[in-house]
């Protein structure tokens, strides 16, 4: 029996939800479906085929680009995990002059439009601190790695800080009472508590890096192609279901990683809400 | 937990404080500062830029040609935000009052497209909107079923302003729903019940009680939809025509083909100032209603 | 509608949440003009019943009638009923006057008329002149009055109150209790109140419904509930009680005798009990009805029962001094404990009935309430 506030049970709202859902999901579903199209066309269905996926794996450039993206993501995740955790610890533990401005500053990378960051890094790495070209792989990806780490470590700090908020300070005091010093307290008491936040933050940073287009577009040189950039040129110039296939794979990867991160944080969010 | 002063644990303070702060200053603020100085510069030779301290670039940015693009970008962003609000408010309402299990499902369902790559989402829309895209193909097939009609003219659904707005709404809708939901969820249900009890209908209650009290969340949603929409690059690039350019596309051109970095820098900073202005508006509104809530 | 005739009727009302039965087949009548209380421990279903009356929950089974009309499916904004919420639900973004006038505005009442009625309502709850204040400038008690005024200004047929006094501190609670009583008399509307505080219910209500686990236990006036409880639950829930379990040995039209373990002689009651000999029943004996007598060889005789009856000897094992009265716990030879309440009519004298002292407990033949369940 529905009460007066049981809005979801009313059909106008259900219809609206269905329409919005269709709007959001149909294009994506069409994209995934047509990645199996046995034809060069992406809107006329011919038959089921896996040939585009096979073609992806044959495309050397694409595979290399994917490899680049993975390396960049891994490296930048590591850096932003360290920086973000340190920043979270700083804000969680200390009270100092300039804390509020620092917190605002830490939030800037999240708010500044991507294009502004992109051009800033472009200028920085070509004119000011030129990243040496002709570096062996993977060092030639350094500029992109630095750029990714910079914009993602604020997110990591956010996530880790949320996790730290639920830390019971009495545990650290008990450890100190038993004789442990700073480093041991950190390693044995705090890190285990922070692990879900660290993992969630790492997954978030990894996804952000893997997905990024604009900043990478501006920071990369001609010989450092990443996966989204390669897909972009495919979209622009050679539209075949191969693009659909590449997109489907990327969807699966990022959706899976994010679901994992949310699931890890979910227990935390639920506890905080209680 | 008591917050410590740096003097109480200087070693730890330095260890945790220095790396992020140094990185922020050296690799975030510094590049931005460089761009900022460039905005006051001029192209001397093909590779040299002299910082002359002139406001010429900003003046040029406000000339009719570029001002029009700036205003059009703001218009697109505003229209996108409005459409997202209209589409998203009922969704947020439905989620707020759903059962616990349905709530989780709906939230994940709304967020899943958000976690999909922007490029892919835009590409998916392209396939739908193109001249040979799914919509036109479907319409064409239906058209062909009716005998005696002239040949089907595909609708121009792409490479124009319409496609850009549709694309922007498509990409930013989840941005709007979440803060709306968060604000609605925090609302005291007994206030809605009281309004109904006193004789108001659902729409009147929505307008008189829910929206005024959820205003900070609504403003949040508006701001975090407006700002990314304003600075969008990929969507107008892939879905827009030559006269649907937004400010990010113009900026990109300055740094690539046009090779006018100072001008591009000025444009970038104009975009950033707009962003900060929007944020300040939001901060003012949220502080005003936070004080009202705290006194309750 | 003549005063005293039923204005609200619950017919077979049941509410289920999944497997949980919150309200179980409740049949109840509320009469016009009365102050009615729904009383019970938390989780007993009283709030659910109130919310179904207001329209915020829909019964799984049964009907609710107001003024003879079936309102079971009607939405809350269409019922002639207004509610004062437990947390008051005063709109924080509107002034006091706008809050009180909200229901009138929604009904389309014009500005001047609305302002007049708002002033009237504010005066009724003693908040005159505070119309332009905002809720965050008011105290909790004042906000409650705003909620009251807001509900009353619409002149509903019934006013619902959800735990109206629970959020107030003790002194304010007492003052508010008197005020609510006077308000109801003044306005003449039927009030239905939900509370878990039996003092509140007994003090305010004309009639009271006691609920437990979704079931209606008893509906009666406060004095009837206290003196003539219908079940052990009601006897135990309202006030404190000594529950004695016994077997019926004699049953005559004008008296009965019940054998209780630990008490030598069967208890003598001054009325008959319809039941077969040997039936188990319970006697609810309130502490204030037990008299304490100093130890003597012979048990005290109160004159309304054969000698040696309605009396038992024991030792005082605990004394609780409560100011206006003292509560004595007396342990009988078999280990049973009985509670006796004695007014401190004279200034406290420590020597009067001290800890460890042997005493006689005695009561009148009419004092125990007989309970069959």
CATH number at residue A250: 1.10.3720.10
The answer as to whether B167 is a domain residue is yes
Note whether C228 and C83 are same-domain residues: yes
Judge whether B274 lies within some domain. yes
One domain for residues C131 and C47:
yes
Contact flag C77-B193 (C-beta cutoff 8 Å)? no
Give residue B296's pLDDT. Answer: 45
Instruction: Tell me which of A112-126, A167-181, C331-345 is least confident.
Output: A167-181
**CB pairs B-C closer than 8 Å:** 69
Residue B107 belongs to some domain of the structure: yes
Domain that holds residue C40: 6-236
Distance in Å, alpha carbon of B140 to nearest chain C alpha carbon: 48
Helix axis angle, A99-111 to A142-164, nearest 10°: 120
Q: Which residue from C276, C257, C277 is spatially nearest to C267, judged by alpha carbons?
A: C257
Are A7 and A15 in contact, with CB atoms under 8 Å apart?
no
By CB neighbour count within 10 A (0-12 exposed, 13-18 middle, 19+ buried), where does A237 fall?
exposed
Q: How confident is the model at residue A257 (pLDDT cuts 50, 70, 90)?
A: confident
Q: What is the nearest CA distance from B76 to chain A, expressed in angstroms?
A: 16
Cβ contacts of C56 on chain B, cutoff 8 Å? 193, 196-197
C183: domain CATH number is: 3.40.50.300
- C91 token code pair: 């709109």
Contacts of A126 (CB under 8 A, 6+ apart): none
| Average pLDDT for A84-95 | 91
| Domain presence at residue C310 | yes
Residue in the block written with tokens 């829909």: C58
pLDDT score of B138 more than 80: no
In chain C, alpha helices (H): 46-54, 96-107, 111-124, 140-152, 170-187, 198-204, 222-227, 232-237
For residue C130, which of C175, C95, C79, C86 has the smallest C-alpha distance? C95
φ/ψ bin of C359: left (φ > 0), alpha (ψ from -120 to 50), beta (otherwise): beta
pLDDT more than 90, % of chain A: 13
Tokens of C36: 């009615």
Measured distance CA(C107)–CA(C102) in Å, rounded:
9
Name which of C48, C68, C55, C35 is nearest C188 in CA terms: C35
User: Which of B:152-181 have CB within 8 Å of A?
Assistant: 170, 173-174
Q: Given CA atoms B245, B247, B253, B259 in this order, what sign does their dihedral have? A: positive
pLDDT tens per residue across span A5-53: 777 677 888 888 899 988 888 888 888 888 887 777 766 777 787 888 8
Whether B22 maps to a domain, the answer reads no
Q: CB of B109 within 8 A of CB of A22? A: no
Residues of C with CB under 8 A from a CB of A: 55-60, 75-76
What pLDDT, on a 0 to 100 scale, did the predictor assign at position B287? Answer: 79
Chains in contact with A via at least 3 Cβ–Cβ pairs below 8 Å: B, C
Please give the tally of structural domains in chain C. Answer: 2
Range(s) of the domain holding residue A145: 51-273
Among C81, C106, C147, select the one facing B204 at the smallest CB separation. C106
Same domain membership, residue C61 and residue C187: yes
Contacting A residues, span 43-72, partner chain B, CB-CB under 8 Å: 43-44
The pTM score is 0.76
Domain boundary among C175, C205, C236: C236
- Are residues B190 and C89, on separate chains, in Cβ contact within 8 Å? yes
CB C75 to CB A5 under 8 A?
no
Query: Comparing C-alpha atoms, which of B106, B278, C32, C216 is closest to residue A21?
Result: B106
What count of other Cβ atoms lies within 10 Å of the Cβ of residue B283? 12
* pLDDT of A149 over the 90 cut: yes
Nearest CA in chain C to A2: C58
> Residue B220: enclosing H or E segment and its boundaries?
helix B215-230
Nearest residue on chain C to A5, alpha-carbon basis: C56
Whether B234 sits inside 8 A of A17 (CB atoms) is: no
| Residues C258 and C184 both lie in one domain | no
Residue ending a domain, choose from C236, C257, C290: C236
Q: What is the CATH number of the domain that holds C303?
A: 2.40.50.100
Chains A and C form CB pairs within 8 A to the count of 12
pLDDT, tens digit, 9 for 90 and up, residues A157-201: 988 988 888 887 778 778 877 777 788 888 888 888 888 888 888
Per the structure, how many domains does chain B have? Answer: 1
Is the torsion defined by CA of A22, A235, B119, B65 positive or negative? negative
Shared domain for C278 and C167, answered yes or no, is: no
- Would you tell me which residues 92-131 of chain B have a C-beta closer than 8 angstroms to some C-beta of chain A? 93-99, 102, 106, 108-113, 115-121, 123-128, 130
In a domain, B133, yes or no: yes
Judge whether A35 lies within some domain: no
Q: Is the pLDDT of residue A239 over 90?
A: no
Q: What single DSSP character describes residue C13?
A: E
What is the arithmetic mean of pLDDT over B218-230? 88
User: What confidence score (pLDDT) does residue C180 get?
Assistant: 92
CB contact under 8 A, B5 and A95: yes
Structural domain range at position B285: 76-290
Number of domains composing chain A: 1
Confirm whether B66 is domain-assigned.
Answer: no
Cβ–Cβ contact A134 with B under 8 A: no
A266 pLDDT band, cuts 50/70/90, is low
β-partners of residue C318 are C329
Q: Residue B292 and residue C3: Cα distance in Å, rounded?
A: 45
Confidence of residue C349 (pLDDT cuts 50, 70, 90): low
| Residue C205, φ and ψ in degrees, nearest 5 | -85, 150
Three-state secondary-structure class, residue C27? strand
Nearest chain C residue to A4 by CA distance is C56
Q: Note whether C83 and C128 are same-domain residues.
A: yes
**Does residue C1 fall inside a structural domain?**
no
Kindly report the length of chain A: 274
In this predicted model, what pLDDT tens digit does every residue of C259-318 receive, in sequence order? Answer: 998 888 889 998 888 878 888 999 999 999 999 999 888 888 888 888 888 999 999 999
Question: Do both C33 and C59 map to the same domain?
Answer: yes
**Boundary (domain end) residue, out of C236, C264, C294:** C236
Q: B209 vs C91: CB contact, 8 Å cut-off?
A: yes
């Amino acid at each position: 029996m529905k009460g007066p506030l049981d809005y979801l049970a009313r059909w106008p709202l259900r219809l609206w939800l269905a329409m919005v859902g269709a709007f959001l999901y149909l294009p994506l579903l069409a994209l995934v479906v047509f990645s199996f199209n046995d034809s060069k066309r992406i809107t006329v269905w011919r038959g089921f085929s896996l040939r585009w996926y096979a073609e992806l794996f044959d495309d050397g450039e694409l595979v290399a680009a994917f490899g680049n993206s993975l390396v960049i993501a891994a490296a930048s995740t590591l850096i932003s995990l360290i920086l973000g955790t340190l920043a979270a610890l700083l804000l969680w533990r200390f009270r100092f002059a300039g804390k509020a401005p620092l917190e605002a500053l830490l939030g800037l990378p999240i708010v500044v439009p991507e294009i502004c960051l992109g051009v800033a890094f472009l200028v920085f790495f070509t004119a000011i601190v030129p990243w040496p070209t002709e570096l062996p792989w993977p060092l030639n990806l350094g500029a992109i790695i630095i750029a990714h780490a910079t914009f993602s470590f604020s997110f990591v700090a956010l996530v880790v800080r949320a996790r730290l908020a639920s830390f019971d300070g009495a545990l650290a005091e008990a450890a100190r009472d038993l004789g442990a010093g700073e480093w041991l307290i950190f390693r044995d008491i705090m890190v285990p508590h922070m692990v879900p936040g660290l993992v969630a933050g790492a997954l978030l940073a990894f996804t952000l890096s893997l997905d990024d287009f604009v900043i990478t577009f501006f920071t990369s040189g001609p010989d450092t192609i990443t996966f989204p950039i390669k897909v972009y040129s495919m979209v622009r110039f050679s539209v075949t279901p191969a693009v659909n296939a590449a997109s489907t794979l990327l969807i699966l990867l990022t959706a899976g990683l994010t679901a994992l991160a949310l699931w890890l944080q979910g227990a935390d969010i639920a506890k905080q809400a209680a | 937990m008591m917050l410590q002063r740096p003097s109480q644990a200087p070693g730890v303070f330095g260890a945790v404080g220095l790396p992020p702060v140094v990185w922020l200053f050296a690799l975030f603020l510094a590049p931005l500062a460089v761009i900022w100085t460039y905005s006051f510069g001029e192209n001397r030779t093909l590779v040299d830029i002299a910082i002359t301290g002139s406001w010429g670039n900003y003046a040029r940015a406000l000339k009719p040609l570029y001002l029009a693009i700036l205003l059009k970008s703001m218009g697109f962003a505003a229209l996108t935000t409005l459409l997202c609000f209209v589409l998203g408010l009922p969704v947020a309402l439905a989620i707020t009052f759903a059962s616990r299990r349905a709530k989780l499902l709906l939230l994940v369902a709304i967020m899943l497209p958000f976690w999909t790559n922007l490029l892919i989402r835009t590409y998916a829309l392209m396939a739908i909107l193109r001249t040979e895209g799914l919509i036109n193909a479907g319409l064409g097939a239906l058209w062909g079923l009716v005998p005696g009609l002239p040949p089907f003219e595909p609708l121009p659904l792409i490479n124009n302003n319409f496609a850009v707005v549709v694309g922007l709404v498509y990409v930013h809708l989840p941005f709007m729903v979440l803060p709306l939901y968060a604000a609605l969820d925090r609302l005291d249900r007994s206030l809605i019940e009281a309004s109904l009890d006193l004789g108001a209908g659902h729409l009147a209650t929505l307008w008189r009680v829910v929206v005024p009290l959820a205003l900070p969340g609504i403003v949040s949603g508006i701001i975090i939809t407006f700002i990314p929409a304003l600075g969008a690059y990929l969507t107008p690039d892939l879905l827009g025509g030559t006269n649907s350019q937004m400010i990010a596309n113009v900026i990109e051109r300055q740094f690539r083909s046009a090779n006018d970095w100072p001008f591009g820098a000025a444009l970038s900073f104009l975009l950033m100032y707009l962003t900060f202005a929007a944020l300040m508006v939001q901060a003012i509104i949220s502080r005003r209603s936070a004080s009202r809530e705290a006194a309750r | 509608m003549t005063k005293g005739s039923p204005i609200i009727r619950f017919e077979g009302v049941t509410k289920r949440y999944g497997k949980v039965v919150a309200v179980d087949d409740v049949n109840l009548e509320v009469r016009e003009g009365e102050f009615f209380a729904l009383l019970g421990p938390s989780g007993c279903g009283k709030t659910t019943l109130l919310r179904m009356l207001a329209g915020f929950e829909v019964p799984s089974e049964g009907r609710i009638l107001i003024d003879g009309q079936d309102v079971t499916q009607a939405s809350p904004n269409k019922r002639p009923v207004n509610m004062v919420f437990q947390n008051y639900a005063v709109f924080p973004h509107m002034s006091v006057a706008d809050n009180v006038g909200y229901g009138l505005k929604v009904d389309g009442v014009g500005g001047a008329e609305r302002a007049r009625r708002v002033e009237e309502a504010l005066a009724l709850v003693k908040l005159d002149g505070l119309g332009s204040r905002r809720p965050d400038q008011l105290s909790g008690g004042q906000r409650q009055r705003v909620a009251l005024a807001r509900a009353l200004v619409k002149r509903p047929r019934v006013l619902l109150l959800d735990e109206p006094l629970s959020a107030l501190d003790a002194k304010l609670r007492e003052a508010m209790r008197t005020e609510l009583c006077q308000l109801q008399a003044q306005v003449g509307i039927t009030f239905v109140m939900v509370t878990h505080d039996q003092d509140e219910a007994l003090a305010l209500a004309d009639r009271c419904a006691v609920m437990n686990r979704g079931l209606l236990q008893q509906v009666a006036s406060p004095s009837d509930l206290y003196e003539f409880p219908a079940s052990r639950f009601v006897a135990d829930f309202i006030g404190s009680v000594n529950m004695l379990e016994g077997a019926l040995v004699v049953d005559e039209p004008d008296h009965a005798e019940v054998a209780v373990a630990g008490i030598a002689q069967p208890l003598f009651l001054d009325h008959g009990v319809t039941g077969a000999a040997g039936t188990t029943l319970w006697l609810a004996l309130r502490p204030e009805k037990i008299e304490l007598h100093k130890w003597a060889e012979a048990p005290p005789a109160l004159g309304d029962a054969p000698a040696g009856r309605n009396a038992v000897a024991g030792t005082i094992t605990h004394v609780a001094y409560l100011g206006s009265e003292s509560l004595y716990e007396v342990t009988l030879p078999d280990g049973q404990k009985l509670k006796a309440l004695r007014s401190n009519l004279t200034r406290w004298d420590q020597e009067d009935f001290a800890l460890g002292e042997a005493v006689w407990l005695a009561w009148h033949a009419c004092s125990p309430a007989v309970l069959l369940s």
